[in-house]
């Protein structure tokens, strides 16, 4: 039983950054933009959060810096893909390459090439609820994890039941009609990018300010790409995105456990599984996949 709860606790912890990033990407994709800048956005957010927290001594300032970095990079994505109507996948990839490069460049500038990477004196603590009960190992999580879990129903409600959600979905499904109905398509897409960027920034902050308490080259290590896969796995719905993130977290936690126990297993197979499942889902859904209809399609107003 203890083993199981510890495993599930690790699952929640590992799922958190993926969940946050995937929720952010969900909002952005529902508005019609595939943001391949996600991976780099997480890297630079993790770095900015770390460097601000390390130099100022305040974790909360670091958190704010990470979120602002996410918003800034996603606004840049907006400038390129919404305002200038550039090719979304190439622009997004450009942002990932640029942001990762900037993070590694600045890290080297601030900390030099020291062999012992700097780390925070204290990172965000784990908050135990259900203290002293059998559930304690499951619910001793970082605060951001609880926030991420609460965001799932909140964003689901936001998308389905509010005017903001309706506007967001309509510019992702049929921007022409949304425009005729009087919506400012560009501005709605920017709003989605700003909220999504904040979530990606939070994902980066979780990695460097809570889970690791440090910044390393491989801090994000493809989690952004996993998030892209999980958005598809979750059919662009926050609740199902949660299942995808938990599945990924579980496989990863299981892999770590098995490895720690010295069980010889090609654990890379477990790591690759979410990617393969996503591709299989795409193949099975084929033409019926419920992509936001205007995903990847730039929108330009008539005469603009």
Partner 1 sequence: MFRLERGSPPVWWRALLPVLAVLITFLLVSLAIWAAGANPLDVFYEMLIKPLTKRTARFEILVQATPLLLTGIAVTYAFAAGYYNIGAEGQLYAGALMGALLGPKLGGLPPFFAITVMLLAGFLGGVLWALVPALLKVRLNVDEVVTTLLLNSVIIFFISALLNGVWRDPISGWPRSPSIAESAQFPGIIPRSRVHLGFLLAILAVISLWWILKKTRFGLELRAAGLGKEAARFMGVPVAKTMLTAALISGGIAGLAGVSEVAGVHYYLIDGISPGYGYTGIIVATFGGLQALGVTIAGLFLALVDTGALSASRSLGIPVYLGDIIQATLLIVTLAVLLLNRYRPVRSR
Residue in 4, 56, 57, 90 binding partner 1, rule: CB under 8 A:
90
For residue 262, state whether it binds partner 1 (rule: CB under 8 A): no
For residue 200, state whether it binds partner 1 (rule: CB under 8 A): no
For residue 232, state whether it binds partner 1 (rule: CB under 8 A): yes
By CB under 8 A, the count of residues binding partner 1 is 44
Output the six-digit token pair for 219: 């801090």
Task: Choose between 98 and 149: whose C-beta lies nearer to partner 1.
Answer: 98
For residue 109, state whether it binds partner 1 (rule: CB under 8 A): yes
For residue 101, state whether it binds partner 1 (rule: CB under 8 A): yes
Task: Choose between 102 and 166: whose C-beta lies nearer to partner 1.
Answer: 102
For residue 301, state whether it binds partner 1 (rule: CB under 8 A): no
Residue in 182, 262, 286, 303 binding partner 1, rule: CB under 8 A:
286
Task: Choose between 129 and 285: whose C-beta lies nearer to partner 1.
Answer: 285
Residue in 65, 278, 292, 294 binding partner 1, rule: CB under 8 A:
278
For residue 55, state whether it binds partner 1 (rule: CB under 8 A): no
Nearest to 106 by CA among 47, 52, 60, 167: 47
Residue in 4, 58, 108, 176 binding partner 1, rule: CB under 8 A:
108
Residue in 56, 87, 160, 162 binding partner 1, rule: CB under 8 A:
87
Give contact residues for partner 1 (rule: CB under 8 A).
Answer: 34, 36, 80, 84, 86-87, 89-91, 93-95, 97-98, 100-102, 104-106, 108-109, 222, 225, 228-229, 232, 266-269, 271-272, 275-276, 278-279, 282-283, 286-287, 289, 291, 296
């Amino acid at each position: 039983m203890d083993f199981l709860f510890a495993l599930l606790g690790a699952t929640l912890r590992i799922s958190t950054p993926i969940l946050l990033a995937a929720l952010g990407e969900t909002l952005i994709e529902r508005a019609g933009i595939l943001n391949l800048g996600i991976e780099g956005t997480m890297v630079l957010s993790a770095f900015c959060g770390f460097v601000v927290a390390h130099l100022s001594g305040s974790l909360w300032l670091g958190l704010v810096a990470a979120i602002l970095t996410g918003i800034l990079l996603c606004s840049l994505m907006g400038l390129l893909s919404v305002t200038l109507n550039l090719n979304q996948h190439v622009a997004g990839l450009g942002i990932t390459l640029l942001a990762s490069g900037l993070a590694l460049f600045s890290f080297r500038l601030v900390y030099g090439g020291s062999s012992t990477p700097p780390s925070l004196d204290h990172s965000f603590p784990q908050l135990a609820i259900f203290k002293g009960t059998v559930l304690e190992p499951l619910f001793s999580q970082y605060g951001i994890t609880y926030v991420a879990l609460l965001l799932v129903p909140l964003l689901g409600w936001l998308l389905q039941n509010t005017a903001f959600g309706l506007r967001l979905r309509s510019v992702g499904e049929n921007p022409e009609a949304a425009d005729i109905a009087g919506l400012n398509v560009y501005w709605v897409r920017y709003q989605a990018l700003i909220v999504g960027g904040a979530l990606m920034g939070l994902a980066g902050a979780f990695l460097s300010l809570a889970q690791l308490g440090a910044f390393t080259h491989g801090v994000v290590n493809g989690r952004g790409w996993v998030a892209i896969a999980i958005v598809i796995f979750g059919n662009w719905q926050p609740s199902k995105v949660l299942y995808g993130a938990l599945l990924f977290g579980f496989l990863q936690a299981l892999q770590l456990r098995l490895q720690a126990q010295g069980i010889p297993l090609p654990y890379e197979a477990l790591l690759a599984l979410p990617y393969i499942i996503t591709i299989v889902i795409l193949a099975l859904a084929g033409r019926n996949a419920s992509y936001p209809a205007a995903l990847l399609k730039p929108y330009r107003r008539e005469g603009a």
